[in-house]
Structure formats: C-alpha cells, structure tokens
C-alpha cells in the first residue's frame, strides 16, 4: 500500500501505544524519544510529500492578534472563492464553519496533516505559537506565507527570558516564504525589522513590512485591530494578486471575531476581549475613549513575571480595576491576584475572586459612572480551568444574563 492508502485506512500513528505490525509509525520531534527502537517509520516531511496536497499553508505568529488576523484573512480568501481551513485558538474551521473545538493553538503535526488531507483546502491558515515553533509542532510543513502580528512579553514561564522568546519567533522567518510583518524597517539593515522594540533579522526574500495600518473603517473596536486587518489584507493582496480596492470592499461585510473586541451590550457599553498580556491589555484600554472599568485576571501555572505589568498598565489606562479569576489551574488563586495587585498604582480597584460577581460589580459601576466596561482575558472561552477541571463559564453569556 502507498502512504495515502495507509492514511485513509487509519494505518499511520504517532502514538507508540497504538503501533501494531500493520501500522506505520510517524516519527516526530515530539515522540522521537519514545521511538528509539522503531525501524519502520516515516517523518512528517515524507508524509506530506507523499500526499502531494494542493494546499498552500499560511502560518501566523505573534504575541497578540493571531486569531483576528487569521479570521480576517480566511474571510477575504473565502470571499474570493477559495476553500479555506483555519486552525488556532478557537478550534478548527472549514470555510469559517467550526468543525472541531479548540485544543492547543497549534496542535501536533499529525493532527494538522490529517485535517489538511481530509479537507484539501486551497489555503490552510494556522496560528503558530512560540511553543509550537520551539517544540517543532510544524515540522515538515513548507509554508507558502508567514505573518508576524506583534511582539511583547508573554510565555516567559516557557522561554525563560525575552531574548530566548525573540529567538524562537525569529527562527520562523528564515526561509524564502512570503513574509508579511507588522514592524518598522531598520534603515541601516534592510533585512532587520523592529517589532515591539526588538530587532528581528529576517530572510530578505519575499519580505513585506507593514509599518502602519492601510485600512480605516472596520467593524471591530480597537485601533490595534486596524493593523491586524491590514496584515490580512496585504497578505491576501500578495498571494492572490487581487487589487487592494477589491479586497477592501469585501471587508465591509465582515462582522468581526467572536470574543475579540466584541461589543456585548450598548447600555451600558460592555466589551469582551481575549487580551491576557500587558501589551494586549494596554492596547485594548487605549483604544477606548471616555471612562473605563476593566475586569481581568491572569492564568495560573503560566508566566508570573507579566502579572505585575498587567496590573500596572490596567491601572494606568482604566479609571477603575476589578481583579478576578481567569484560569487559575492548580495555582493558588489568592497568590495570582496578589501578584497582579502589586502593579496597581492607584486605590481605585477591587479584588473579587468570583468572576461572575466581579462582572456583576463591573456592570453596576459602568451604569453608575456612565463608563465602558471591558472584560478581558477569556474572550469566547466556554470554561474556567481550575486544577485539571473545566468549569462551564462564558463571559458573554454571563454578561447577557446579568443584564
């Protein structure tokens, strides 16, 4: 049998526990340490070559903005008549219809290959996390295009420091794929780009730098989203040879991304967003005029260094701050909140661990002060993670219920 037949008959596995005499093992960077004595194996690169898919892979990386950029680009390509798969934080979608729920932002490479083989889209757009780059969860994929949305502090529990984090992101842009980057050209070095205050050395071939937004009127709140839309539009322009005016006109009907700067209520104004980094929180708050009340927390068992900064930027840019639980996982909830509290620079704040009660208080204050309420950190997530337990919880539904 050829590899296509093997895959069609579920005779390829990346799990040593599922391996049998009639199955072929897919040896990856992640499972190779468990497969030292396995001789009958193939690699992701070999499998992708054998499948000879018509699909063009597009990888989107960045600290913030990956999901919005992915969905805008997917929308534009679909409007142009292409079949599009989209994989990332929100799950797996085909032509913007959800097929599978969310797991990892970038799943294991075999999952990606099987999805591409089953649907055979013209374009496969995938969010690529820094973890996935470091752990080689994208091995074997020859990307047609790559996008870089933003760079700021996050994931230092994994990468240890910003320089290491930067190197991982930088490594993604060393090939000759089309590269569309949000940054500033460094004049003395044409292959270097300033992104978030850090210099990134890129492969010069097929490099497109978007230094400022190229779109104005969009149907999502937040000035920073103009750049996410711009990156998507520029990429669509380059990879399809479509005119800017045609693509821009198609954006008129794009309704936004669920849980990303989503306006849940207009009286009072309540907005939810996934912002969970200092830079993300600052961008969201600065994009809103008038009085602002913000409700947020921080994930447990993750980068602890960013918590102080999250508290600082929130208190600098909002009139009132309410700290609450996010996904505490197996970490002490009180410690997480105390870490954020250390960064708050004024007395206009409350600590309400129960997220529903925190949102309720936020709504009360927003009504009283005629302010905008921003509920951050979870976006469209459907649960709270508490020590290996997923407790059903959705910010949008809670807000609607309370109102």
**How many Cβ atoms are within 10 Å of 285's Cβ, its own excluded?**
22
pLDDT score, position 40: 85
CA torsion, ordered 100, 102, 108, 112, to nearest 10 deg: 40
Which tens digit of pLDDT belongs to each residue from 231-265? 999 999 999 999 999 999 999 889 889 899 999 99
pLDDT score, position 190: 78
pLDDT score, position 278: 94
Please tell me the pTM assigned to this model. Answer: 0.87
Q: Where in the chain is the domain with CATH 3.40.1190.10?
A: 53-253
pLDDT score, position 20: 87
Q: Whole-angstrom Cα distance, residue 311 to residue 314?
A: 5
pLDDT score, position 159: 64
Collect the ranges in the chain with pLDDT lower than 70: 153-157, 159
Which residues partner with 61 through β-bridges? 148
pLDDT score, position 103: 76
CATH of domain 262-402: 3.90.190.20
* Residues whose CB is less than 8 angstroms from the CB of residue 313 and which lie 6 or more positions away in sequence, other chains included: 278, 279, 281, 282, 285, 343
pLDDT score, position 253: 87
Which residues partner with 347 through β-bridges? none
Which CATH number fits the domain 53-253, given the four candidates 3.40.50.300, 3.10.20.90, 3.30.70.1450, 3.40.1190.10?
3.40.1190.10
Q: For the chain, what is the mean pLDDT?
A: 94
∠ at Cα 116 (79, 2), nearest 5°? Answer: 140
* Residues whose CB is less than 8 angstroms from the CB of residue 151 and which lie 6 or more positions away in sequence, other chains included: 62, 63, 166, 169, 195, 196, 198, 200
Q: Where in the chain is the domain with CATH 3.90.190.20?
A: 262-402
pLDDT score, position 104: 81
Backbone angles phi, psi at 85, to 5 degrees: -100, 140
The H or E element containing residue 373 is strand 372-376
pLDDT score, position 35: 82
pLDDT score, position 156: 66
């Amino acid at each position: 049998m050829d590899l296509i037949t093997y895959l069609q008959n579920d005779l390829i596995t990346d799990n040593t526990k599922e391996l049998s005499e009639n199955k072929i093992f897919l040896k990856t960077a992640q499972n190779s340490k468990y497969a030292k004595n396995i001789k009958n194996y193939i690699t992701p690169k070999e499998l992708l070559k054998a499948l000879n898919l018509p699909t063009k892979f597009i990888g989107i990386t960045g600290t913030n903005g990956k999901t919005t950029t992915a969905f805008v680009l997917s929308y534009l390509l679909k409007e142009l008549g292409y079949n599009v798969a989209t994989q990332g934080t929100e799950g797996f979608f085909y032509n913007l219809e959800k097929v599978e729920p969310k797991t990892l932002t970038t799943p294991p490479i075999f999952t990606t290959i099987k999805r591409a083989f089953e649907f055979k889209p013209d374009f496969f757009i995938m969010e690529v996390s820094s973890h996935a780059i470091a752990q080689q969860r994208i091995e074997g994929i020859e990307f047609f295009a790559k996008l870089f949305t933003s760079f700021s502090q996050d994931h230092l529990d994994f990468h240890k420091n910003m320089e290491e984090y930067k190197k991982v992101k930088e490594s993604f842009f060393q090939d000759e794929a089309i590269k569309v980057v949000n940054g500033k050209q460094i004049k003395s070095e044409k292959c270097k780009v300033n992104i978030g205050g850090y210099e990134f050395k890129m492969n010069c071939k097929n490099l497109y730098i978007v230094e400022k937004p190229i779109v104005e009127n969009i149907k999502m709140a937040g000035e920073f989203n103009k750049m996410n839309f711009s990156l998507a539009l520029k990429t669509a322009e380059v990879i399809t040879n479509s005119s800017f005016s045609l693509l821009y006109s198609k954006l008129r009907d794009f309704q936004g991304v669920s849980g990303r700067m989503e306006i849940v209520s207009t009286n009072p104004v309540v907005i939810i967003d996934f912002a969970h980094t200092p830079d993300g929180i600052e961008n969201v708050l600065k994009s809103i005029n008038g009085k602002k009340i913000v409700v947020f927390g921080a994930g447990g068992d993750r980068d602890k260094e960013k918590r102080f900064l999250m508290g600082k930027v929130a208190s600098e840019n909002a009139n009132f701050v309410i700290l609450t639980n996010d996904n505490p996982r197996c970490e002490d909830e009180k410690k997480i909140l105390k870490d954020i509290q250390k960064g708050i620079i004024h007395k206009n704040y409350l600590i309400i661990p129960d997220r529903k009660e925190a949102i309720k208080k936020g709504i009360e204050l927003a009504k009283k002060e005629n302010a905008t309420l921003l509920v951050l950190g979870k976006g469209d997530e459907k649960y709270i993670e508490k020590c290996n337990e997923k407790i059903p919880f959705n910010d949008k539904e809670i807000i609607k219920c309370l109102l």
